[in-house]
Amino acid sequence: MKILFRISIVCSLVGALVFTSCTKKNQKPGEGEITPEDTTIVDTTDSVVVMDSLGMRTAKQVIYSIYAGWNLGNTLEAVGGETAWGETKTTPDIIAYVKNKGFNAVRIPCSWDLHAKNGQIDAAWMKRVHEVVDYVINQDMYALINIHWDGGWIENDIENGYSEEVNLKYIEYWQQIATEFADYDDHLLFAALNEPNSYNGSDKVNTATILQYEQSFVSTVRATGGKNMFRTLVLQGPNADIDKSYNYFKTMPTDTVPNRLAMEAHCYLPYTFCGLTEDESWGKMQYYWGDYLSDIQTDRNASSTYGPKYIVTEMNKLQKRYVSNGIPVILGEFGCLYRDNDENVLDQENHHKSVCQWLETVGRESRNHGCVPFYWDCTEGQNFNLINRRKLTLRDQDMYDALMKGLSEGTYPIE
């Protein structure tokens, strides 16, 4: 394959290159190497080419320029169109309001297959996604687009093993998406998937399948040329789950340039408190967490095992596996159900305080462990909602203040 750009230095490396960690205190970038025990992340690139990068920064430089991110949830990924899941049409004023509230990045979950025919993305849909990306970029914010659930044609198929038919469709979509945005600078990031399924079968086998598709993602985007040759690309492990990623996603795809890949995980932990909407055989809904357990509904208290220290433990896994080895991480989704309209929650005061403490804790500890947090905000009336997009108001001032307090107390472990 011919690559048309100016090469300044070419370095050939033999074998695999172990990722080095983020910079130590008082250590200049590029000095020294850190190889912590129990870390097996490997860059499988056979050769590294140092070239004119068209002004595109490394993944760490880009990712850690993001203070905090916000999800335009249940919108451009909605089945049936942008407003099909109850949200209002996105406007520049909405994005300006998000920026005003302290976020400097927007993750834009996208559907593509739902707006395509015979592998070709509808031109009007591509134009609409482009418009929304521009709303973000024009605010001098960072934008991240992905192939989200999208009807499940790829994410739900992971457990069936690698499919050449699925892979070819995946390549075809990313060729179109990447070509559309090839001239955008590094304020635009691409993410391979959302939460590639690994609920059944072997997580190890499913991870191998995910890696095959994500290798196609990296190779396809790079081949479209322009600034895509150096764009930060974000990868996901099984379910975007912290534990499964830590245990199984230990090797990154091959890339043509170094230091341009990042990792993504999601956090709704413990799920019985953060996300469960009905009791299940494996667990009951919990309304109270951390320091604010209830004396009224003791059976709905989260176990102390899954309190604030548990969040620290989970963030530490992402830092140890990825951040400490030079791979920046985004916490692409995090959130907690606020059940203020649930008559089954009998102790609303402690529930409210529990949610606030959770948001503060995740905001602080994600940043302290090198994971850039993106709040999952979805349709008005749903219990993850933080910003009312129709009225441009906050749903709950205390929740917002708690999150901002945590973010302000957290510091990325880099220089």
On the CB side of 360, CA atoms within 13 Å amount to 17
Contacts for 202-209: CB closer than 8 Å, 24+ residues apart:
203/238, 203/244, 203/247, 203/248, 204/248, 205/161, 206/158, 206/159, 206/238, 207/237, 207/238, 207/244, 207/248, 207/249, 209/158, 209/161, 209/162
Residue 146 is encoded by which pair of tokens?
């992905």
The DSSP result for 337-362, as a single string, is: ---TT-TT---HHHHHHHHHHHHHHH
Pull the structure tokens for residue 232: 């930060």
Residue 20 CA to residue 326 CA, distance in Å, equals 5
Contacts of residue 69, defined as CB under 8 A and 6 or more positions apart, other chains included, come to 103, 104, 105, 106, 107, 142, 144, 330, 372, 373, 374, 375
Q: What are 342's two structure tokens?
A: 């649930």
77 included as an active-site residue: no
Rounded-to-integer distance, Cα 224 and Cα 305, Å: 48
Phi and psi angles of residue 273, each rounded to the nearest 5 degrees, phi first: -90, -40
Candidate list 82, 87, 155, 195, residue with the active-site label:
195
Q: Looking at 77, 82, 314, 333, which residue is catalytic?
A: 333
Q: Name the one residue in this structure whose structure tokens are 């929650």.
A: 345
Alpha-carbon gap, residue 369 to 412, rounded angstroms: 6
414/365 Cα distance (integer angstroms): 14
Task: Verify whether residue 82 is a known catalytic residue.
Answer: no
Residue 31's Cβ-count burial label (10 Å; 0-12, 13-18, 19+) is: exposed
Helices (H) and strands (E) in the chain, counts: 10, 17
What are the backbone angles phi and psi of residue 107, rounded to the nearest 5°?
-90, 125
Q: Is 104 helix (H, G, I), strand (E, B) or coil?
A: coil
> What angle (nearest 5°) sits at the alpha carbon of residue 113, between those of residues 109 and 114?
80
| Closest among 267, 248, 384 to 329, alpha carbons compared | 267
Q: What positions carry a catalytic annotation?
A: 195, 333
